[in-house]
Amino acid sequence: MTRLAPAMPGSRSSPGRTRVRPKLLRPRLPNHPKDALVPALAVLAGVLWLAGLRQVTPAELGGLGLITALSPVLLAAYPVLAAAVVAELVRRRPRPRVLASCTVLGVLLVYGLQPSSEQTARLTVSWLHTGFARYIAENGQPLQGYDARFSWPGFFSLIAFLTRASNAPDATPLLQWAPAVIAGIAVLGVRVLAVAVLGAGRAGWLATWIFLLAEWTEQDYFSPQAATYLIMLAALALVARYLVRPGLAYGGKSRPGRGAPPPNLVRQRLVAHGLLLLFALALAPTHQLTPFLLAGLLLVMALTGRLWAGWLPWLVLVPALVWFTLGAKDFWQGQLSMVIGDFGQVSSSVDQGITGRFTGDAGRTAILFLRVCLTGTVGALALGGWWSRRRRGLRSVPLVLLALAPLGLAALQSYGGEVFVRCYLFALPFAAILGGCCLDALLSRPSGPGAMRAASRVRPRFRGAGPVAAAIVLAALGLGTITARGGGDAYLSYTRADVAAVADAYRLAAPGQTISVLSADATPIGFDRIGVVNQPAVERTCPGYVRAATCVLDAAPDYLVVTPSQENYGRIYYGLSAGWTDRLVSDLLYSGNYQVVFDQGGARLLARADRGQP
């Protein structure tokens, strides 16, 4: 029962004086037992994940990849965590600390799965990037004419500086957990962007979780594009927070450059402009695509009248153009036709980015189809968010255009067949924001006049349908994403023996000699001796590995690395029978031209019998 403080003589509440409303003393209520439900579910999800975790090797995987080797106990952790998040969000007052803790746990469960269950870092390209950084650290400059990525050396130069400053030989210790760290920072960036666009309410948290659970692209490995993606998210969050009016998610006509910002925001906007310039200067020499994409997104904001200053896209675009013209001259000089050859060729991008990717066995095809389904699900959620906002009279044109703008990349470049993966990745933050609005509509309680009557007309069995549907969507996205991200682990993940075989080849090879692998995409190659030894792949000169032994004997490399991941690659991509690498090794040994100099854990290194100093 609420008590009133007694009136003291001579106080304002005494007779003859103006009465002041007494201060209400609200009793402190004890914690409700339901308050512990969400933390308990989150702890249960973590325990299930740890209990089902085990080490996986590529030799035991097939076309479906990692999902076939995961325990049902571990898989149960994802629906439990999704239920915990939804249960917290449907509270009358969701607790930010609890949601933040669940988000950190979600990053670990989704993006820490492969580093925790596999022996070493995945993806050949991540190992190759450490080799690029090592070359710069040892020589003080990029290697011209070797690889196009050396024309944008910002990331490699930074890693080279850090490794030299720490007296480390290279950056390979960073590779395994780099995806989890990068993905965690990206989730934080999307959270900040969502708060800047939608506010700190429930829709912003749902947008964060859609991004967390739907980022299946695996573009968060140790790479310049991953680093620049984080910079792009930081720039977008900065612009959405300080340089946009009246907001990306709400209506109101405005034109760029019209009016002046409030006096108390002038200093903040000046600082934001300076930071945006620093971001642009960092992007220009680091990645060939991201600064142009950021400039395009800012242009969309300017054309829809959201930017205070319409010249902001040029602030990002000019440094990128200057670097491309001068700093990347070694890349485009003499091969300009290759750079602009795909311009406007959408059909070519579709063939390389979608049709051409559906190759391999039934397991790999199923993984590719799953990725298409995940993309379609996010698109459907974004469409639902646009519709739910439209029904409430809220304009979402800027958000819709920002989510669609990255698709324009398909008309510019095929980007090695990865253009639609990049389109999805760049569109995902804004698609997730719209999707968060869709799920928020499912969880919203009726409000306003007639809300109680509307709620009374809802059948009791359907009142919990919204939260259940939201939890199912989040759980399905999470399970689908871990399946899609691990779909290539039969040939994209490696063992310590695989790395040791390549390292032994680097130790034995003399300058100018050749270290060959059966597939560059299925071997941890390139992390050392860049520009010193040749490192080709047999697959380039021997398509489908038809008469592979003859191809190797004709090329006569000084060393040949054979691993179980290459065995899986041949079976999944080309339908080769099991044991094809064993037969290849036997044929090479029988020829007398090669001998085994390393054999451990299924990884073998063959050396040419008559090798010598070149």
Has residue 29 got a pLDDT over 50?
A: no
Q: Which of 335-339, 391-395, 398-402, 435-439 has the lowest mean pLDDT?
A: 335-339
pLDDT band at 28 (very low <50, low <70, confident <90, very high): very low
Token pair, residue 573, equals: 């991509």
Name all domains of the chain by residue range, CATH numbers in brackets.
41-121+176-447+462-489 (no CATH), 494-614 (3.40.190)
Q: How far is CA 154 from CA 277, 279, 288, 455, in A?
A: 16, 12, 11, 57
- Look at residues 87, 82, 97, 81 and name the one whose alpha carbon lies nearest to residue 43: 81
Other Cβ atoms closer than 10 A to 544: 12
Q: What angle do CA 376, 123, 548 make, to 5 degrees?
A: 110
Look up the pTM and report it: 0.89
Q: What percent of the chain has pLDDT over 70?
A: 83
Has residue 270 got a pLDDT over 50?
A: yes
Summarised one tens digit per residue, pLDDT across range 192-244 is 999 999 999 999 999 999 999 999 999 999 999 999 999 999 999 999 999 98
**Residue 29 vs residue 262, higher pLDDT:** 262
- What pLDDT, on a 0 to 100 scale, did the predictor assign at position 343? 53
In sequence order, the β-bridge partners of residue 596 are: 606
- What pLDDT, on a 0 to 100 scale, did the predictor assign at position 33? 61
Token pair, residue 228, equals: 């620049």
- What pLDDT, on a 0 to 100 scale, did the predictor assign at position 217? 94
Summarised one tens digit per residue, pLDDT across range 272-297 is 999 999 999 999 999 999 999 999 99
pLDDT band at 354 (very low <50, low <70, confident <90, very high): low
Query: For 268-297, what is the HEC assignment?
Result: HHHHHHHHHHHHHHHHCCCCCCHHHHHHHH
Q: Is 23 exposed, middle or buried (0-12, 13-18, 19+ CB in 10 A)?
A: exposed
pLDDT band at 535 (very low <50, low <70, confident <90, very high): very high
Q: Which of 205-219, 265-279, 348-362, 368-382 has the lowest mean pLDDT?
A: 348-362
- What pLDDT, on a 0 to 100 scale, did the predictor assign at position 528? 95
Secondary element (H or E) of residue 594: strand 594-600
pLDDT band at 345 (very low <50, low <70, confident <90, very high): low
Cis upstream peptide for 511 (omega within 30°):
no
Reduced to 3 states (helix: H, G, I; strand: E, B; else coil), residue 398 is helix
- What pLDDT, on a 0 to 100 scale, did the predictor assign at position 226? 96
- What pLDDT, on a 0 to 100 scale, did the predictor assign at position 245? 76
Other Cβ atoms closer than 10 A to 476: 17
Summarised one tens digit per residue, pLDDT across range 490-505 is 999 999 999 999 999 9
Gap between the Cα atoms of 227 and 434, Å rounded? 25
**Residue 399 vs residue 333, higher pLDDT:** 399
Summarised one tens digit per residue, pLDDT across range 542-590 is 989 999 999 999 999 999 999 999 999 999 999 999 999 999 999 999 9
Summarised one tens digit per residue, pLDDT across range 71-83 is 999 999 999 999 9
Please identify which residue in the block is written with the tokens 């070694």. 330
Check residue 65 and report its DSSP letter. Answer: G
Has residue 350 got a pLDDT over 80?
A: no
Report the chain's mean pLDDT, rounded to a whole number: 86
Cα dihedral sign for 180, 183, 189, 195?
Answer: negative
In sequence order, the β-bridge partners of residue 594 are: 608
Has residue 103 got a pLDDT over 60?
A: yes
Q: Which of 223-227, 243-247, 304-308 has the lowest mean pLDDT?
A: 243-247
Tell me which amino acid residue 343 is. F
Q: How many residues does the chain have?
A: 614
